[in-house]
Structure 1
């Protein structure tokens, strides 16, 4: 059976690392390249973090490309409060591979090349701000026609924000880029929103079983996720906080959808766009459930998933 071909675009924080490890553990998946974008941390840290994940998983042969270092417009937004200043819980590793292992080819050029070389065969998974994707389609308007499918972790479907009042972090990091992608890509598009991920959380009991596996990968995960787990548990304990009561690896949901076609069990198929100018709603994803925008291209906004399958994929990631 032919392997699923993936091109993965990340702003590698803790949950990006978890998603990458999920994909790396899938036997029927081939990762053609990993492109990096600013977001959870600086572009240099993002690149370093991807190399650290590949090193732990013994997969340094996968090409890693440095991409956008800032959003198309506006200021740099980071998430060091959750991911740590380096993006991986500030769990420094003196043996981590250096940036000399990065490819010389820019991430956006690599995206265009890989899509052309494998036209109609590659699924693109985006777990960070969509800056690289927006740049790619602006350079080549046929880019999305060469992509088999697009899987995004980002946006929201109930106007609940985690970075701004109404904005999810990845889209709030670069609203213009998200707007370009949502309105320009015409390949099958699947979106794992912030609300979808926290409504389908895993228990902390599962989390503990997951990271206590007796493997080097699990040891690595224990180190890099300690900061974010403590942050989440602290938020959960505060009265009035709208926060999940369990463990959520946001980016892993989009990756699971790309890796296993049976993972998604429910979705809303509708036109989507992004608010750019609202004083309180800039960066908020808009679902056109009544088709007032009459967009030809509809996205699949995920609502339900097979949690037993998700647990299996997550456990396999650290074996």
Structure 2
């Protein structure tokens, strides 16, 4: 059976690293490239973090591309605090690979090129702000019809946010990009929204056993999460979108409806809006993840550190 071809777009913080480790451990997946976007930290740190993950997995042959350093409109950059200033718990060391390992081509053009080289075969897993994807579709409006599927971690289902009162982190950091992607991408879109990830989060007991495996990957994960876990519980937000991309049977129930993103509301800018009653008559609907086979998810996450 042929492998699933993935492009992964990240703002590499701790949960992106966990999702990447999951994909790198999946034998049925071929990662054609990793594109980087600002988000959990600066764009340079994001690139370094991706390279660190590839180094610990001995997969430095996978090309990494630098992408957007800020939102489409600018002026909405985060304070880079949730996962530490560098996005990976401020646990870098001198052995980390440098930016000279990046490709010369930028992320947006890499997304377009690789998709056009494999029309109808590539799925994108987008784990940060959607800036790179929005810029790509503006350069090549035919891009969405050439993608197989798009998996997104972002947005919210009930109007309760973790960045503002009403907005989820990834969508809030670039609402215009999220609006463009949810409006103009016509391929099947599968969204792991904030509430879905929180309702299916794993226990700290599982996490402690997970990072106590006697492997280089587990030791790496334990190191980069040490400070973060003192203040936060264990929610591997991005891993849910990645797990769905790897194995469709992991998500057992979806809500299918058209979605958009609020851009002008005084309080609700960046909030994902759901057309549950089909009033917009939009032909393209999103598949919003509702239920998860947690045993299968845990198996994938466990294998990520072996």
Residues 82 and 227, structure 1, Cα contact 8 Å, conserved in 2: no
State how 1:248-267 maps to structure 2 within 5 Å: 248-267=235-254
Where does residue 141 of structure 1 map in the other structure?
141
Of residues 277, 293, 299, the one that matches 1:306 is: 293
Is 1:168 matched with 2:168?
A: yes
Unaligned ranges ≥5, structure 2: none
Once residues 75 and 212 of structure 2 are traced to their aligned partners in structure 1, the CA distance between those partners, rounded to angstroms, is 39
Residues 39 and 79, structure 1, Cα contact 8 Å, conserved in 2: no
Q: Alpha-carbon deviations, 1:20-69, whole Å to 9, x = none? A: 00000000100000000001100000000000000000000000000001
Once residues 119 and 227 of structure 2 are traced to their aligned partners in structure 1, the CA distance between those partners, rounded to angstroms, is 40
Where does residue 122 of structure 1 map in the other structure?
122
Provide the secondary structure at the position in 1 that maps to 2:151: strand
Of residues 253, 258, 276, the one that matches 1:271 is: 258
Where does residue 21 of structure 1 map in the other structure?
21
Unaligned ranges ≥5, structure 1: 234-246
Provide the secondary structure at the position in 2 that maps to 1:82: coil
Is 1:295 matched with 2:290?
A: no
Once residues 193 and 17 of structure 1 are traced to their aligned partners in structure 2, the CA distance between those partners, rounded to angstroms, is 18
Q: Alpha-carbon deviations, 1:78-113, whole Å to 9, x = none? A: 263221001100001110111000000010000000
Once residues 103 and 76 of structure 1 are traced to their aligned partners in structure 2, the CA distance between those partners, rounded to angstroms, is 27
Once residues 293 and 225 of structure 1 are traced to their aligned partners in structure 2, the CA distance between those partners, rounded to angstroms, is 43
Is 1:315 matched with 2:302?
A: yes
Once residues 229 and 171 of structure 1 are traced to their aligned partners in structure 2, the CA distance between those partners, rounded to angstroms, is 24
Is 1:112 matched with 2:112?
A: yes
Q: Alpha-carbon deviations, 1:171-212, whole Å to 9, x = none? A: 000000000000000000000000100000101110001010
Once residues 76 and 278 of structure 1 are traced to their aligned partners in structure 2, the CA distance between those partners, rounded to angstroms, is 16
Where does residue 238 of structure 1 map in the other structure?
none
State how 1:1-319 maps to structure 2 within 5 Å: 1-78=1-78, 80-233=80-233, 247-319=234-306
Provide the secondary structure at the position in 2 that maps to 1:45: helix
Q: Root-mean-square deviation (CA), in Å?
A: 0.8
* Structure-2-length-normalised TM-score: 0.99
| Structure 1 residue 143: Cα displacement | 0.3
Provide the secondary structure at the position in 2 that maps to 1:83: coil
Once residues 77 and 250 of structure 1 are traced to their aligned partners in structure 2, the CA distance between those partners, rounded to angstroms, is 20
* Structure-1-length-normalised TM-score: 0.95
| Structure 1 residue 73: Cα displacement | 1.2
Number of matched pairs: 306
Once residues 6 and 192 of structure 1 are traced to their aligned partners in structure 2, the CA distance between those partners, rounded to angstroms, is 17
Provide the secondary structure at the position in 1 that maps to 2:87: coil
Q: Which runs of 4+ in 1 moved over 3 A?
A: none
Residues 79 and 315 (structure 1), Cα distance of their counterparts in 2 relative to 1, 3 Å cut: farther
Provide the secondary structure at the position in 2 that maps to 1:69: coil
Once residues 136 and 58 of structure 2 are traced to their aligned partners in structure 1, the CA distance between those partners, rounded to angstroms, is 30
